[in-house]
Amino acid sequence: MRRAISGLVVAVALAAIPGTAVAQGFQVNEHGTCVMGRAGAGVASPCDDASSIYYNPAGLAGSQGWTISAGVTAIYAIGNFTGDLNGDETKLANSVIPVPHLYASYGKDKWAAGLGVFVPYGLGTVWPDSFEGRFLGFDNDLRSIYIQPTAAYEVLDWLTVGAGLDIVIGSVELTQRLDLSAQALPLPGLPAGTTVGELGIPFHTQFAEGKLHASGATGFGGNFGVRIKPVETVDIGIRYLTRVKLDYTGTATFEQVASGLILAPNSAIAPALGLDPALPLPVDSLVAGLGLFGTGAPLSEQSVTTSITMPDQLTVGVAINAFPSLKVLAEWQWVHWSLFETLEADFEFAPDLTLHENYRNTNAFRFGLDWATSDKVNLRGGYLYHEAAAPDQTVTPLLPEGPRNEFTLGGGFKLGSRFVLDLAYQFIRQDQRRGRVRDADPGQLPTVDLNSGVYIFNAHLFAATFAVHF
Partner 1 sequence: MIRRYTKWIPVVLVAGVALTAACSDDILNPPTSSVDSLFSKYVAIGNSITAGFQSGGISDSTQSLSYAQILAAQMGVSEFNTPLMNRPGCPPPYINVFTQDRGGYADDDCFLRMAPIPEFLHNVAVPGAAVIDALTNLSPDSDPNPLTTFFLGGLTQLEAAAIIRPTFTSVWIGNNDVLGAILDANAGDPALVTSPTEFAANYAAMMDSLDAFGSIQGGVLVGVVQAAFAPYLTQGRAYFQAAATIPLPTLTVLGNCLTDFTLVPGTNDTLWVSVPFHYGGPIFAAAAAGSAQTLDCSVPQVVSSAEMLNMVGSVNAYNAAIATEAADRGWAFVDPNPLLEALLADPTAIRPFPAFNPLDPQHETAPFGWALSRDGVHPSTVIHEDVADALIAAVNATYGTSIPTP
- Given the rule CB under 8 A, which residues bind partner 1? 82, 84-87, 181, 190-191, 194-195, 197-205, 261-269, 280, 283, 323, 325-326, 367, 383, 385, 403, 405, 407, 429, 431-434, 438, 441, 452-454
Contact 144, 168 (CB under 8 A): yes
CB of 364 to partner 1, least distance (A): 13
In angstroms, what is the minimal distance from the CB of 385 to partner 1? 6
* Shortest spacing between CB 290 and partner 1, in angstroms: 16
- Nearest residue (CB) to partner 1, 218 versus 447: 447
- DSSP secondary structure of 184-229: B---TTSPTT-BGGGGTPPTT-EEEEEEEEEEEEEEEEEEEEEEEE
Can you tell me the distance from the alpha carbon of 226 to that of 56, in angstroms, rounded to the nearest whole number? 7
Burial 285-320 (b: 16+ CB within 10 A, else e): ebbeebebbeeeebbbebebbbbbbbbbbebbbbbb
Pick 189 or 296: Cβ nearer partner 1: 189
CA 144, 145, 150: angle at the middle one, nearest 5?
130
Q: 1 or 264, CB closer to partner 1?
A: 264
Contact 333, 363 (CB under 8 A): yes
State which residue, 177 or 229, has the beta carbon closest to partner 1.
177
Comparing C-alpha atoms, which of 142, 152, 143, 170 is closest to residue 55?
Answer: 152
Least distance from partner 1 to the Cβ atom of residue 311, Å: 24
Q: Which is nearer to partner 1, 7 or 260 (CB)?
A: 260
Least distance (Å) between residue 340 CB and partner 1: 22
Handedness of CA 257, 260, 262, 267 (dihedral sign): negative
Torsion of CA 242, 314, 426, 144, to 10 degrees: -10
Phi-psi region of 209 (alpha: psi -120 to 50; beta: other; left: phi over 0): beta
Rounded to a whole number of angstroms, the minimum distance from the CB of residue 143 to partner 1 is 29
Numbers of helices and strands, H then E, in the chain:
5, 22
Give the span between the Cα atoms of 56 and 160, in whole angstroms: 10
Of 46 and 400, nearer to partner 1 (C-beta) is 400
3-state secondary structure of 96: coil
Cα gap 152→163, rounded to integer Å: 6
Cβ closer to partner 1: 124 or 197? 197
Shortest Å, Cβ 39 to partner 1: 11
CA 340 to the chain's CA centroid: 12
Residues 6+ apart with CB under 8 A from 155: 161
Nearest to 302 by CA among 343, 349, 256: 349
Q: Cα–Cα distance between 46 and 152 in angstroms, integer?
A: 13
| Least distance between partner 1 and beta carbon 157 (Å) | 30
Least Cβ distance, residue 197 to partner 1 (angstroms): 4
What is the nearest approach in angstroms of partner 1 to the Cβ of residue 461? 18
Closest to partner 1 by CB, 145 or 201: 201
Nearer to partner 1, 256 or 452 (CB): 452
Q: Which is nearer to partner 1, 42 or 197 (CB)?
A: 197
Closer CB to partner 1, residue 87 or residue 416? 87
We find the least distance from the C-beta atom of residue 465 to partner 1, in angstroms, to be: 26
